[in-house]
Amino acid sequence: MAFASAYAEGGIPLPHQSANQPRGINVGLGVGGLSPSGSSCNGMGVWQGMAEYFYTERISAGWAIKMYGGNLDQEYALIYQRYHIHGRIHFPMSETFGFYISPIIGFETTDLSKIRKSQDDNTSATSGNSDKLAQCSDEYSLNGFSAGIDVGMGWKFATNWGFISGLNYDQNSSPVSQFSFTGGIAYNLRNSFDFLEKNFLGTWLSLELVVHHYWGTDITSWGKSLMLGINLSI
């Protein structure tokens, strides 16, 4: 184990409610809100979960789910689910800094074709309004299979505080791609409670801001989401 003291104090936090650990199970949960990039789209609730297994301190693999729920626009409600599987190569550079590189494969179960067809056939709206409504379904354009890469880093700048950031690129099977940037802070709850210290390798509470942009759609603006999450290293 390269940096035993860092793991003893809870490890190094990473994006998407994750953290470095020498071996074992890593579980993350997050809730928050999404401000879509479509100009006429309503804000929506976001929930995400992640589970991965560390085979060693340098190799882990797992899966993640993200769900959006709420009113898509003034006409449609939506629950959108997207799944990812990943394999990460970790680079713990010191007791306070580490990063990873990860290929990702994604898919989803939400069929937006009915919504898009209804919007295309909506002749009662003006052309400008129809374009704005179509952007709401374009916000969820990663439908079907996708593949990409995820890069993340964590820096523990104090005993119980860390900074996290990451970049993600997802290329869909259709000619649509998504780029996102994550930045946030994390606090190590483990060192504040005896129960957590005895039962978990790490327990990080994090606040993350994610901004994203689509290529291959009519959307020109950036969307953003704010997530409050917790990580449990077992």
- How many distinct structural domains can be found in the chain? 1
Residue in this structure with the two tokens 């119980």, named with its chain if needed: 160
Query: Which domain covers residue 183, as residue numbers?
Result: 4-233
CATH (domain of 97): 2.40.128
Query: Whole-model pTM?
Result: 0.81
Q: Tell me how far apart the alpha carbons of residues 142 and 140 are, in angstroms, rounded to a whole number.
A: 6
| Proportion of the chain above pLDDT 90, given as a percent | 38
Tens-digit pLDDT profile for residues 5-41: 555 567 899 999 999 888 889 999 999 988 876 556 7
Asked whether residue 101 carries a pLDDT value surpassing 90, the answer given is: yes
Q: Tell me how far apart the alpha carbons of residues 48 and 42 are, in angstroms, rounded to a whole number.
A: 19
Provide the residue type at 204 as one letter.
W
Do the bridges between strand 77-92 and strand 13-14 make them parallel or antiparallel, or are there none, so unpaired?
Answer: unpaired
What is the per-residue pLDDT for 66?
84
